[in-house]
Homo-oligomer: A and B are copies of this chain.
């Protein structure tokens, strides 16, 4: 098992990708890693670690794609970048997957362009983990497809179902369609049609509403990229907003220092599920390969987790199951 890791992506490269790779090979004994990016910088960073040198390699790819570059441009012009090189190795079969904390748009574009679509998949998609009081859910699509047709929503359900089962370890994921009401005749024309198609999935639980997300009434939340992207960013903003509201109350009530510390530490712990570093990264699904992207601020642990999720996608032959499911 060999995974390519972008060592030129994210806010803290090459430090965090390199450390993430070292941690991953420590945790998974049959895993090798190829770090792509500026070879000399990766090497001097890697030299600081005690690691099995036969299991971590460097593939020099000196060009850098910035976090704000135009995705389609970058993919075409920066062929010597870590993203294009890493995905190219994957496409040729030299590695079984590619993970990066770099420019999400560029990664999505490059994954679709270099790896191509999986057989039968209309449009590749990006899924995201979503915290609920019952554990992690999966929201799919998270912003890749803004004009989703019913058939695409159906396929998002199929792909999310398989990812949740194979990688997240949820035995029988409850797949729900985000809608304005529970009844099957609710929603826009697109959502009504998508509901009909999704009924072919045995573990489709029907429409779910906005109130069913945090309460964990489903494991897989199917929606278009607009709804998913707005909910994703909304969710990320909850801890900060709630802290601000609570701090306002705390100041008004003039709590003493000890009480403030106690409340702050409670809050911090309660918000752990909202911490993106726990899950590491999110998958592109529907591409003919394995490709994951992490938050720009990913820590080494986040990158390690992302690598191990990619391994799981490869080990479980997830893509074969997706092809069968959408057929």
Contact = CB atoms under 8 A, between A and B. Distances in A.
A244 B133 contact: yes
Contacts of A266: 246, 249-250, 253, 263
A226 B188 contact: yes
Contacts of A72: none
Nearest to A250: B266
Nearest to A225: B180
Contact of A249 (B188, B209, B245, B270): B270
A237 interface: yes
A210 B188 contact: no
14 contacts: A133-B241, A146-B180, A179-B230, A209-B230, A210-B234, A210-B235, A210-B236, A211-B237, A212-B237, A215-B237, A230-B231, A231-B234, A253-B266, A263-B266
In the A-B complex, the 7 residue pairs with the closest CB atoms: A210-B233, A214-B241, A210-B234, A210-B230, A211-B237, A146-B188, A211-B233
A297 interface: no
Contact of A180 (B229, B236, B241): B229
A122 interface: no
A213 B237 CA distance: 9
Interface string A232-270: 111111101110111011100101000100110011011
Given A133-B241, A210-B234, 7 more contacts: A146-B180, A146-B188, A188-B226, A211-B236, A231-B234, A238-B238, A259-B262
A230 B233 contact: no
A146 B189 CA distance: 9
A158 B112 CA distance: 40
Interface residues of A, number: 52
A62 interface: no
A191 interface: yes
Nearest to A271: B245
A143 B211 CA distance: 14
Contact of A240 (B146, B191, B209, B215): B215
Contacts of A147: 188-189
B270 A245 contact: yes
A230 B147 CA distance: 18
